[in-house]
Homo-oligomer: A and B are copies of this chain.
Amino acid sequence: MDPESDQDVCTKWSTTLRVYHDTSSELEHELQSRHGLGLSEFEVLQILAGRCRVESGHKVKMKDLEAEMYLSQSALSRTVTRLEKSGLVGRAACDFDRRANFLMLTPEGRERWEAARPTHRAVLERHLA
């Protein structure tokens, strides 16, 4: 509440704004132009790639995905729909709970993610290293 901490938080916030906008807009452009992926789409692939190991049969529930992303339920639903239409992600019904969806990377989805990963990492290095 004192002037000093005010100055602190303002500086911190403007730094955060700058880093966030610079980095995310370059991520968006690079991923889109080089790999045809939006940032949200890449992030979904990234999470699926990291979690689709042996456990749970290579599948991830929408709700689990939602919990790890800064995206509303509806936005995530549409993002996954776009990825599904592009053939990068597959949906599968859940036997135990037919309300829920399971998601998994397709082979093509894994390829695209692996192709895009260096681009993603390079942008982060450039802005955050």
Using a CB–CB cutoff of 8 Å, the interface residues on chain A facing chain B are 1, 5-6, 8-10, 12-13, 16-21, 23, 70, 121, 124-125, 128-129
Contacts and interface: CB of A to CB of B under 8 A. Distances in A.
A70 B124 contact: no
A70 B6 CA distance: 22
16 contacts: A1-B125, A6-B121, A6-B125, A8-B129, A9-B121, A9-B125, A9-B129, A12-B124, A12-B128, A13-B124, A16-B16, A16-B20, A16-B23, A16-B128, A17-B20, A20-B20
A120 to B, nearest CB: 10
Copies in the complex: 2
A18 B23 CA distance: 14
Contacts of A18: 70
Contacts of A5: 125, 129
